[in-house]
Amino acid sequence: MYKITLFNELYFLVAGGTVWIDSDLSSSLPEDSDLPLHNSTCNSTVPLIGSSPPDFDDKENVGKFLYLEGVEYFMWCTYDVHFYASFALLDLFPKIELSIQRDFARAVLREDRTRVRFLADGTWGTRKVIGAVPHDLGAHDPWHELNAYNIHDTSRWKDLNPKFVLQVYRDFAATDDMSFGKDVWPAVCTAMEYIEQFDRDGDCMIENDGFPDQTYDAWTVLGVSAYCGCLWLAALQAAAAMARSLGHDDYADRCMVKFAKAKHVFEAKLWNGSYFNYDSGTSYSSRSIQADQLAGQWYTASSGLPPLFDEDRIKCTLQKIFDYNVMRVKGGRIGAVNGMHPNGKVDETCMQSREIWTGVTYSLAATMLLHGMEDQAFTTAQGIFLAGWSEEGYGYWFQTPEAWTIDGHYRSLIYMRPLAIWAMQHVLSPPRAILEAPKVNTMERAYVSPGALQFLQDSVRKITPKSGCF
């Protein structure tokens, strides 16, 4: 069943809406200024607001690649979803995957001051803020008019920038492509600087702002959150590892000082003895068991980095998710529900908390594989096969939706995220570069004399969005 589903889910790359063109056919970005800004942390040059990002030569003639989030959500290369789906491209078409990451690296360093209205609250803001990773590469004019998504202001989302750093490092580690690493490093630094502003109280951990400011864009989250906080911890570690590989040891030290502080805050505020709470707020869902709470650890382990937490806590959390989110929902036959209360009832806070997300279920299974829980992993993934692909299921063959509910109602057929099943294959057959890389603990050089370093505050330019939303 695993092999059948693994290869069948690849239908999306050809049937889900794909554009692949020669690089020469995509015109260059308009130039408003050619004045550079020197970033002392990165030892690189990044553009001022309004100028064109640096271009990367298509040395290997890979071309430019786009694929839709889904046939109902018409946006190209939706990044918070590509975070899950990208394992398929990395494992099968790595040059295309690097091309997409280069596109987003360019986009991080761009700003589009066009005013747009956000549908969720009716406010107006800037289409694309410099430093913020865009939600997508656009719709009608891809690569140029970014952020076709306009429900929320995604410049305030807390997952996109960490996801960019994590994907870049994973791809860098898997391909051992030093040229790629050097190309995207300024964007990595800028993305890290940008997200730091969401550490409101200076404790080194970012906080969510009381609206759905992440890929679960109907599920409100407040304060420190399991999902975004874990991604942030993983991004700090990945940025440190990449910095060391590129010779920026001071930057790596700063990241790991911040990582040590942020990890302490994360565990103190969220760990309850058997899993990490949904967030540090006081709502009814704050103690919910989120199936996706270890997304940062998933990427950390997939990239060959040391674990974010003690192994017993990771396995305890995964077992809790398996026992509650998987096995207490139709006996594990339909995947993992996104949210489950500790009393064993599905979290009905919103549409997304009560849904089973097919791609998230696959990524959860991959995380279980990474931590030696093979029986739980394949039982979890089998639920998606049984519900979506088997003769006894819902009949979603070659149109796997983003989500379904316990009673079988679906949302968004033919969706990108189910390609995350290739994250399982990434575990079973990891890239040679990751297998052969020296196992270096990124914490080993983290000691810095008290007060000597303040992560990205004293010597690094602060990037503050100009949208008036902060």
Tally Cβ neighbours within 10 Å of residue 107.
26
468 or 266, higher pLDDT: 266
Q: 291, 295, 298, 415: which is closest to 356 by C-alpha?
A: 291
What single-letter DSSP state applies at residue 324?
Answer: I
Position 331 in a domain: yes
Give the residues across from 125 on adjacent strands: 116
Q: Are 164 and 129 within 8 A, CB to CB?
A: no
Number of domains in the chain: 1
Position 469 in a domain: no
pLDDT band at 455 (very low <50, low <70, confident <90, very high): very low
For the cut 70, the answer to whether the pLDDT of residue 361 exceeds it is yes
- Cα angle, residue 458 at apex, residues 452 and 460 outer, rounded to 5°: 125
Position 446 in a domain: no
Position 459 in a domain: no
Position 441 in a domain: no
Report d(CA 311, CA 315) in Å as an integer.
6
Q: What is the dihedral of CA 383, 325, 307, 232, to 10 degrees?
A: 110
Lowest mean pLDDT among 21-25, 209-213, 237-241, 416-420: 21-25
Q: What is the pLDDT, as a whole number, of residue 57?
A: 64
pLDDT band at 459 (very low <50, low <70, confident <90, very high): very low
Structural domain containing residue 68: 2-436
Lowest mean pLDDT among 8-22, 221-235, 314-328: 8-22
- Supply φ then ψ for residue 418, to 5 degrees: -60, -15
Q: What is the pLDDT, as a whole number, of residue 454?
A: 37
For the cut 60, the answer to whether the pLDDT of residue 330 exceeds it is yes
Q: What is the pLDDT, as a whole number, of residue 36?
A: 32
Q: 379, 360, 372: which is closest to 418 by C-alpha?
A: 360
Lowest mean pLDDT among 56-70, 163-177, 205-219, 404-418: 56-70
Give CA separation, 73 vs 28, 65, 136, in Å: 26, 18, 11
Report d(CA 151, CA 148) in Å as an integer.
9
For 432, the 3-state DSSP assignment is helix
Copy the structure tokens of residue 402: 């983003």
The identity of residue 286, as a single letter, is S
pLDDT digits (tens, 9 = 90+) for 225-258: 999 999 999 999 999 999 999 999 999 999 999 9
For the cut 50, the answer to whether the pLDDT of residue 40 exceeds it is no
- Express as a percent the part of the chain with pLDDT over 90: 81
359 or 450, higher pLDDT: 359
For the cut 70, the answer to whether the pLDDT of residue 440 exceeds it is no
Q: What is the pLDDT, as a whole number, of residue 25?
A: 60
pLDDT band at 24 (very low <50, low <70, confident <90, very high): low
Predicted TM-score (pTM) of the model is 0.90
Q: Which CATH number do you get for residue 37? A: 1.50.10.10
Query: How far does the chain reach from its first CA to its final CA, in angstroms?
Result: 49
Give the residues across from 128 on adjacent strands: 112
Q: 236, 103, 53: which is closest to 162 by C-alpha?
A: 236
49 or 112, higher pLDDT: 112
pLDDT digits (tens, 9 = 90+) for 380-416: 999 999 999 999 999 999 999 999 999 989 999 999 9
For 373, the 3-state DSSP assignment is coil
pLDDT digits (tens, 9 = 90+) for 331-344: 999 999 999 999 99
What single-letter DSSP state applies at residue 52?
Answer: P
In 217-294, where does DSSP find H-type helix? Answer: 226-245, 249-270
Position 126 in a domain: yes
pLDDT band at 60 (very low <50, low <70, confident <90, very high): confident
Position 222 in a domain: yes
For 403, the 3-state DSSP assignment is strand
Position 445 in a domain: no
